[in-house]
Structure 1
Amino acid sequence: MDHLLQGGEAMVEVTTPIGQSHAITTMLIGTDRQNYLYFSMPDLSAYHRNQFFVEGYRLSINLISERGDGAMVHFDSKIEHMVLKPLQIFTVKLPNQILLHPLRHETRYPVDITAQIMAAKRQLDVQVRDLSIKGCSFSILPLAPQFASNQAVMLRVAHPYRAQHFLLSGLICNQRKMSANTVYGVKFDREGSRHSLELLKCLEFNGSLMVFSQPPATN
């Protein structure tokens, strides 16, 4: 389960013993890496919570993994525990197997790069989370202006060690929630792909992320 990101949005469908189903969206809090996954309780009425969120009820879960090639992760399990105080969470037993449905045809490399983007006639700082030649994803803070599907955008990345900029232009192709932030996926146009290739040439792997290569030390 290392490919699942904490704070990621999860689509959950609960099925009762008499066949009633209820689909909701919630958030993956994390895992203990041994037995359980932890999810936040969705904002439900007391009636729906008592009707559908009961220990032992079966459920199916879909999550998005942005790592590597990206995939829709699907598995079936059941509600193991309900916790209502002090925090409202429910636990799900780790499945023996999961299904992965690829989302794209190339590998995205994990990065943590600050970029600037224009929105509502002002410049915003955003965090680029992953990058490939053909696209990227970036996150914005909760109160920032929102972007629409197919909206044209341009992310401006400044090289930290030399006077060079990279203009990653393209279209918004999807969005999702990650904790309180919104994460957008971008498909680059031709110029955006060209600049992304030049940017990737400036990066190196530090063991967990692709980062800008340090300039050689001078004596």
Structure 2
Amino acid sequence: MTSTLEDEAERTSPERAEAPARTPFWRRPWIVPLAVAVVFYTYTAAEPFVGVPEAQAPLQPHPGFGLYYPLLMVHIGAGTVAMLTMVPQVWPWLHRHHPKVHRVTGQVYLLAVLVAGSAALVVVWWAPQPGKVGALCLTVFWLATTAAGYWTGRREDYEKHRRYMLYSFAIAASNMGGAYGLMVLELLGISVDPAYFGEAARWIPWVGDLMLVQWWLHRTARRPVRG
């Protein structure tokens, strides 16, 4: 009888009742469309430069800066790695059940961001004028939030680590906003002045993504953060 009462008390205790239920990976359907969107974007962004001579590339070498095109290729290559490793980083199921994979892909992501961001800081000065300031701000914020995420992770401050890394992922994912936005406009037959589109594409996606992440962090502020 005593054992039965103890079992009942354990089942109805506040600690047990408030324990969050673990969600199976197959019940997080957003990870699949995110992965598809990222893979499709990285393929369409990088494929035109693969195996193509510089003279036939979508972005031509800059006559006033010989390292422009090589650094552009470094930026595209490292940026592709960062985009692909971003997906497993934001997958809670993988983080919970395979923490080592989470750490390794996180280290690869950090290195890719460092390389891609450093190259972008140089390349952006020779980029077309529309959107140049937005691209520079995006790059600085990307490097800063990623560095803050790395530092807080090393200090085992996982709440801040999660916050800064979500900021970093939001900025990385914003690259898809301009590309998919242009595809939608072309499908709808809507023509937009390239200068206006260039400015909008370099500001709206990453600022909007950061606002969405901030809303999400506020909404989930009471959830426990696991290291």
Give the TM-score normalised by the residue count of structure 1. Answer: 0.22
Compare relative contact order (CA 8 Å, sep 6+) and give the higher one, 1 or 2: 2
Whose strand fraction is larger, Structure 1's or Structure 2's? 1
Q: Hey, which of these two has a bigger chunk of helix by percent?
A: 2
Q: Radius of gyration: which is bigger?
A: 2
